[in-house]
Amino acid sequence: MKKFALSLAVAGAIFAAPTVTDAMSMGDRGDDVRDLQESLADAGYNSSSNVDGVFGPLTLSAVQDYQSSNGISSPAGNFYGTAGPATQSSLGMDGSGSTSTASSGSSSSSSDSSSQVAGTSDVSNSSGIISTARSLTGSPYVWGGTSPSGFDCSGFIQYAFQQNGENVPRTVAEMWNAGTAVSNPQPGDLVFFETRTGPSHAGIYLGNNEFIHAGSSTGVTISNLSTNPYWSSTYIGARSM
């Protein structure tokens, strides 16, 4: 979908040529990211069509899958989705890429354990929220519900965020008004739908056009924004909380 085409706008500071000790995360771009994408593709964790030198949602998902499969990190890990020395070494990367550009406000890092890895805290918290949300799959839908015994759509979102130390408003309309509009949602952002007048349903974006939500006829489930005609036709936008 065009709504989810990754923006190629360049923002942030230019760092020195990376070595195997430089971590890469969401928003980074350059030849080092391209090397990472190619290494993931060679290992069977990334599509060869997603080798563009931009660390976006598809690359994040590929890194996370590789880390989980190879015992490097997990959704509960602080650096899940950040390609640091352990991930790069496991992929056999020699760190010989060229300069890269990181997202605004990012800092370079010398190891996966550094607290200065670009975007680490956001990625980590989003991973925790997503992990909590996934663990609730199958919970029934209950109007006004706010616990695993039964959720409505906003109660489900509020619960997943609260379990990870984040407070969000209670209703879909309030979430819509409180969030920051984003054109390309990232994992952990909220996606909104107009099933009645105005924002009336919402879910947590997982990446790859998938989101998890509490549907009135399904309970907590995962749906696809591009292949499900109902959700693609009622989608009205995304918000970062």
Give the Cα separation of 138 and 10 in Å (integer): 40
Give the Cα separation of 103 and 98 in Å (integer): 17
Active site residue 155: no
**CB 183, CB 109: distance < 8 Å:** no
Give the Cα separation of 109 and 117 in Å (integer): 5
Select which of 29, 34, 213, 239 is catalytic: 213
Buried b (16+ CB within 10 A) or exposed e, 42-71: ebebbeeebbebbbbbbbbbbbbbbbeeee
Active site residue 213: yes
CA-nearest of 24, 18, 28 to 67 is 24
Active site residue 127: no
Select which of 83, 91, 129, 153 is catalytic: 153
- Which residue is it, tokens 């971590």? 23
Q: What are phi and psi of 28, to 5 degrees?
A: -70, 155
Select which of 176, 201, 231, 238 is catalytic: 201
Residues with a known catalytic role: 153, 201, 213
